[in-house]
Structure 1
Amino acid sequence: MIPPKPTSRPDRVSLWRYMRLFRKDILSAQPDRLYTAWMAEFRTPFFQSYLANDPTLVQTILRDRPRDFPKSNRIGEGLRPLLGESVFLTNGPTWERQRRIIDPAFERGRLAQSLPAMWEAGQAMAARVLGQIGDGTEVEVEEIASHAAADVIFRTLFSIPIEDATASEVFHEFRAYQRSQPILNLAAFVPLPRWMPRFHKAETKRAATRIRHLITRLVTDRMEAIQTGTAPDDLATRIMTTPDPETGACFTTDEMVDQVAIFFLAGHETSASALGWALYLCAAFPDWQDRIAQEAAAVTDATEVRRLTTSRDVFRETLRLYPPVPMMVRETTQAETFRKRAIPKAAQLVLSPWHLHRHTRLWDNPDMFDPARWQTEQARQSARDAYMPFSAGPRVCPGAGFAMAEGPLLLSLLLRVVKMTPVAGKTPQPVAHLTVRARDGIWLNAQPRRTPDTDEPSSAQS
């Protein structure tokens, strides 16, 4: 069985057709040849873009000369009403200052401090699902994954569960925003002057305003708790009390609101995408699901997350097949020559985890789900050349380690008590909105997993 992927468009289409396809779904708007090409060019009347699949080009752009290839503002235009000047959108000295403040909170040694909150969120997810399914029922697992990932963010960032009134309101507003926001708006295709409106949907702007208002309330409350010495030692407190080592200044309230918005969008939306697809793949490949359940049964608390090696390999393979952020865009600051091709200044450079992860010249059986590949040297070499679910280089996601602990843990805690099987006639079709999601959701049959000795349902608290 080959997991589903979008049907590619014809090799040549009109600009108008391409723009419509791109806004609807960035993945099916691309031709099939990108899975084999080292480089491809696309021209519009307003700008030129180049897809770079050659690992040496990816190395140059992301690792060797990242300052020469800043993030493109074209992509950020669609997200700015929500994210403001967050670390995801900024470049240059502003971005460098933000990373100096943020990165210490996600250092490997501090990750262990977040594991108990992840464990609690995973246990709560398993209990919710067991309560929902009874003896068995059909469930939409993207909703389950979104709820669980949001719970992790609130517990680790602000020490509150998703049942908290403000947390619940933020979660539901983000869900509305995700559904209303295309991955690109007009400014991605047409160079607009700074004074011209950005043509955001009215509902998108209203949702962004509501979300930022709610986040401001959380940040303001935390500022007050820090000042009175009553703040918990969680991610929000650590970030808000970390001064820039060069200037000594901490984030202001407005700056922290921007960062919390991207922490939620990146930490919740991307994690939910990956977990949803991981559950689908485990349902479609039951042998791997059973191995995860057996492995997870022996894990008793969050400190044992390193023992979840099977779940980690499944999660890695899920991120390869369904990278939550399918494409990222950089911009040239000067003329370049790539693969004997002249690249002008201000050209758009597209780096596509979606195509790199399935590139026929870089992976063995790239469209197949095979978690065992991660134990082979060939896959490790492919990963060094062409695996970047969290980007790479200085702009690698600061929460990459966090995500690689969260994903396998949530997957394990659910599958050790619930058995998932595919629903006939409901094969999910991947599309890219803010992240790679299923067009009509991911529907699976779920039933309590029976323990082999007693034939009793497993407990979420085991």
Structure 2
Amino acid sequence: MTPPKPPARPDKVSLWRYLRLFREDILSAQPARLYRAWMAEFRTPFFRSYLCNDPTLVRLVLNERPDDFPKSDRIREGLRPLLGHSVFVTNGAAWKRQRRIIDPAFEGGRLRETFPSMVAAAQAAVARMTPGVQEMEPAMSHAAADVIFRTLFSIPIEHAIAAEVFDQFRAYQREQPILNLAAFLPLPGWFPRFHSRQTKQTAARIRGLIRQLTETRAREIEAGGAPDDLATKIMQTADPVTGQRFEPDEMVDQVAIFFLAGHETSASALGWALYLLAMYPQVQDRVAAEAVALGESPEFAAMGRLKFTRDVFRETLRLYPPVPMMVRENSCPENFRGRKVAQGAQVVLSPWHLHRHERIWERPDAFDPDRWQTEAGRACAREAFIPFSSGPRVCTGAGFAMIEGPLLLAMLVRKFRFDILPGKEPIPVAHLTVRAKDGLWLKVSLR
């Protein structure tokens, strides 16, 4: 039994058919040869795109010369109404300044301090879970959003503003198409962007709610009674180069991406992890046995004993990387594998294809958490495992996610057993993240 994988399109299709397929799902719009190719070129009337699976090229773009390959403006078109000028979409000096302010909040010592909030969110997720047939994606979205609100603003998701942000964000996801026309056409900056009125209104509502939270926190900081959480840390951190702190609008931008990245990606990974554990009961039992040591209220040190659970989460990120593709743009002419790449081309790095590459990984489509304890597995990870990107632009919350994911998995599996339902095999699709086309349905029972 092999974990679900989306179908691939034929090698040659018309541009218009490709656009239709792309709008429905990025993954099934790609040909099967990408699982073996080191590089592939795609031509459109407006630009050329180069998908790079060669680990040497991936290192060049992400690690060795990241300033020469800034994030593409095209990829952020659909997210602009919500994210503004957050660290996810900026480049150059603006991005470096933002990271200098944000990164200290996610250092190792801070993870220990935020851990009790993660535990409280995990306990709440366990309490909400009930036996019966359930769709896992909404449950995991709820749990991941709860983690974000507790660690960022010291409030549970039941808080009125937190609950409304969560509801509005789900509406935004439903309204936002994966393909914005401006991502494919070379439109000038003054040309109106193709966002529906409803999308813009929902984004404005989310940003308004976030502004309420940040303004309240600013008053608490000024009064000397602010909780010592991530929002307080970020708002009080000055850029060591300029001495400046985030302005109120900038903080709204950053909180928007924290919520998007920290909630949407974690929910995707957790949902697929539970499905994989349901597919492989013997693996699930090993996680449950390891989780017994956690207890009802685990301490941070207990996370070191969840070695196998951590490998299960890693293997989930390999098979179902929440962000399946990243797009960069080369700022000068390049030569990739003997092929000239003109300035301004789209350089696509695909964790989805890299993590399943047939020339790199042994049994690339198989679910095998034990591969992470082999030398071959570790070597592949060094060459071709980038669920959080890599280099200077590596996700600032990567360490956070690698604590949150195993913790929630262990606490859920410690109390519940998850089983697949015949006839309910999910089909992976990629929109904002990799999700299941018709949901992840499992049977939940008390262990």
User: TM-score band, normalised by the shorter chain?
Assistant: over 0.9
Give the aligned partner of residue 124 of structure 1.
124
Compare 2-11 and 106-115 and name the one that shifted more: 106-115
**1:251 equivalent among 225, 241, 246:** 246
Deviation at 1:116, TM superposition (A): 0.7
Give the aligned partner of residue 460 of structure 1.
none
**2:299 equivalent among 294, 297, 302:** 302
Give the aligned partner of residue 225 of structure 1.
220
The answer as to 2:313 corresponding to 1:318 is no
8 A Cα contact 1:181 1:433, kept in partner: no
Task: Report sequence identity in percent.
Answer: 67
SS of the counterpart of 1:78? helix
TM-score (norm 1): 0.95
Give the aligned partner of residue 381 of structure 2.
383
Deviation at 1:306, TM superposition (A): 1.7
State the one-letter code of the partner of 2:34.
L
The answer as to 2:142 corresponding to 1:155 is no
Equivalent-residue separation in structure 1 for 2:19 and 2:304 (angstroms): 44
The answer as to 2:17 corresponding to 1:20 is no
Q: Deviations over 1:419-441 (max 9, x none)?
A: 00001110011000100000011
Q: Deviations over 1:226-273 (max 9, x none)?
A: 100110000000000000001111101100000000000000000000
The answer as to 2:149 corresponding to 1:193 is no
Equivalent-residue separation in structure 1 for 2:179 and 2:16 (angstroms): 15
The answer as to 2:209 corresponding to 1:214 is yes
Compare 201-210 and 420-429 and name the one that shifted more: 201-210
Equivalent-residue separation in structure 1 for 2:80 and 2:179 (angstroms): 11
Give the aligned partner of residue 400 of structure 1.
398
Give the aligned partner of residue 178 of structure 1.
173
Equivalent-residue separation in structure 2 for 1:84 and 1:173 (angstroms): 17
SS of the counterpart of 1:342? strand
Q: Deviations over 1:339-393 (max 9, x none)?
A: 0000000000000000000000010000000000000010111111100000000
8 A Cα contact 1:274 1:323, kept in partner: yes
State the one-letter code of the partner of 1:214.
L
SS of the counterpart of 1:349? strand
Compare 171-180 and 376-385 and name the one that shifted more: 171-180
TM-score (norm 2): 0.99
Give the aligned partner of residue 90 of structure 1.
90
Aligned length, in residue pairs: 444
Q: Deviations over 1:46-92 (max 9, x none)?
A: 00000000000001000000000000000011101000000000000
Equivalent-residue separation in structure 1 for 2:69 and 2:42 (angstroms): 18
Deviation at 1:202, TM superposition (A): 2.5
SS of the counterpart of 1:330? strand
Moved over 4 A (4+): none
Equivalent-residue separation in structure 2 for 1:326 and 1:242 (angstroms): 32
SS of the counterpart of 2:28? coil
State the one-letter code of the partner of 1:61.
V
Deviation at 1:17, TM superposition (A): 0.8
8 A Cα contact 1:182 1:434, kept in partner: no
1:216-365 paired onto structure 2 within 5 Å: 216-300=211-295, 301-303=298-300, 304-365=302-363
Equivalent-residue separation in structure 1 for 2:185 and 2:423 (angstroms): 40
The answer as to 2:441 corresponding to 1:446 is no
SS of the counterpart of 2:27? coil
State the one-letter code of the partner of 2:391.
G
8 A Cα contact 1:75 1:184, kept in partner: no
Deviation at 1:108, TM superposition (A): 1.3
Deviation at 1:182, TM superposition (A): 2.2
Equivalent-residue separation in structure 1 for 2:161 and 2:322 (angstroms): 26
Equivalent-residue separation in structure 2 for 1:91 and 1:105 (angstroms): 21
Equivalent-residue separation in structure 1 for 2:299 and 2:438 (angstroms): 34
State the one-letter code of the partner of 1:349.
V
8 A Cα contact 1:315 1:407, kept in partner: yes
8 A Cα contact 1:283 1:422, kept in partner: yes
Equivalent-residue separation in structure 1 for 2:299 and 2:133 (angstroms): 29
Give the aligned partner of residue 79 of structure 2.
79
SS of the counterpart of 1:437? strand
Deviation at 1:165, TM superposition (A): 0.6
Equivalent-residue separation in structure 2 for 1:241 and 1:209 (angstroms): 25
Deviation at 1:200, TM superposition (A): 1.2
Q: Deviations over 1:80-132 (max 9, x none)?
A: 10000000000000000000000000111211111111111001100110xx3
Deviation at 1:302, TM superposition (A): 3.1
Equivalent-residue separation in structure 2 for 1:302 and 1:277 (angstroms): 26
8 A Cα contact 1:331 1:348, kept in partner: yes
Equivalent-residue separation in structure 1 for 2:252 and 2:319 (angstroms): 33
Deviation at 1:305, TM superposition (A): 1.4
Give the aligned partner of residue 454 of structure 1.
none
State the one-letter code of the partner of 2:86.
S
Q: Deviations over 1:372-419 (max 9, x none)?
A: 000001011111110000000000000000000000000011010010
The answer as to 2:407 corresponding to 1:409 is yes
Give the aligned partner of residue 107 of structure 1.
107
Equivalent-residue separation in structure 2 for 1:24 and 1:378 (angstroms): 36
Equivalent-residue separation in structure 2 for 1:182 and 1:317 (angstroms): 29
Equivalent-residue separation in structure 2 for 1:32 and 1:429 (angstroms): 16
State the one-letter code of the partner of 1:122.
A
State the one-letter code of the partner of 2:41.
E
Deviation at 1:197, TM superposition (A): 1.0
Deviation at 1:183, TM superposition (A): 2.6
Compare 178-187 and 15-24 and name the one that shifted more: 178-187
SS of the counterpart of 2:78? coil
Equivalent-residue separation in structure 1 for 2:419 and 2:186 (angstroms): 47
